[in-house]
Amino acid sequence: MLLASVMTYQEATSIPPTFFPSSPQFINFRLVFEHAPFLRYFFNTVFVSLTTTFGILITSVLAGFALVKLEFKHKNLVLIVMISLLMVPYESIVFTNYQTIAQLGLLNTYSALIIPSLASVFYIYYLQGYLKGIPSSYYKATKIDGRGDLEFIWKIMIPLAKPKIGNRWDSKLYLRLELIPMAIACYKRLEYASS
């Protein structure tokens, strides 16, 4: 990515790919800062990504705990509804989300970006599958010791689930390199369509 940032457009999108620029174009950085409030965009991206990541982590851990360790009525129905919701594409609810955000008066705010992303059925289901592997005897021992559910979550469950939590954190915050060619192809297609 760093090398592509100092290439000309032709070098960055050439086939076969150019790995090193023939003459580095540092003017690209100046153009970015002149034509757009790039630092503001960068701050917005970092802030929204970190906030939604922490929100998803908190809601997924708490919901996963409830689905695995707590006994309540209609638990299986809740799981069936969650699996059913996984089949609904996000694109089909975008307009409903927009209308809800507009009715709440949250358009053009950070809250409009953060609130709809604070919980994810996928991450809850994903983490719940891993938490099933934590023996129930740990939870029972914690209860016998007089500890509460939050203490069990914080001191036992989260440390045991760190590999799975870290895996999701990584995929949320960091772009996978194999997607970069796809992004370039989409950008190129848009460029041809507009000319």
pLDDT digits (tens, 9 = 90+) for 45-59: 999 989 998 999 999
The reported pLDDT for the residue numbered 141 is 92
Question: Length of the chain, please?
Answer: 195
The reported pLDDT for the residue numbered 187 is 46
Indicate the CATH number of 37-194 among 3.50.50.60, 3.30.70.580, 3.40.50.970, 1.10.3720.10.
1.10.3720.10
The reported pLDDT for the residue numbered 168 is 55
| pTM for this entry | 0.69
**pLDDT of 25 above 50:** yes
User: What is the residue-averaged pLDDT of the chain?
Assistant: 82
Q: Supply the DSSP symbol for 18.
A: P
Exposure on the CB side of residue 169, measured as CA atoms within 13 A:
13
What is the pLDDT confidence band of residue 4, given thresholds at 50, 70 and 90? confident
117-164 pLDDT, tens digit each: 888 898 898 888 889 999 989 999 999 999 999 999 999 999 998 888
The reported pLDDT for the residue numbered 195 is 47
Q: List CB contacts of 10: < 8 A, sequence separation 6 or more.
A: none
**pLDDT of 183 above 50:** no
The better pLDDT of the pair 173, 111 is held by: 111
**pLDDT of 80 above 90:** yes
The reported pLDDT for the residue numbered 63 is 94
Name the phi and psi angles at 129, rounded to 5. -60, -35
Across 62-72, average pLDDT: 92
Centre a 10 Å sphere on the Cβ of residue 158 and count the other Cβ atoms it contains.
Answer: 14
**pLDDT of 66 above 90:** yes
Contact (CB, 8 A) for 164 and 190: no
In the chain, alpha helices (H): 2-5, 9-12, 27-35, 38-69, 75-86, 94-103, 110-114, 121-131, 136-144, 149-152, 158-173, 180-194
Q: Supply the DSSP symbol for 107.
A: T
The better pLDDT of the pair 169, 139 is held by: 139
Across 75-86, average pLDDT: 92
The reported pLDDT for the residue numbered 13 is 83
Domain chopping of the chain, boundaries? 37-194
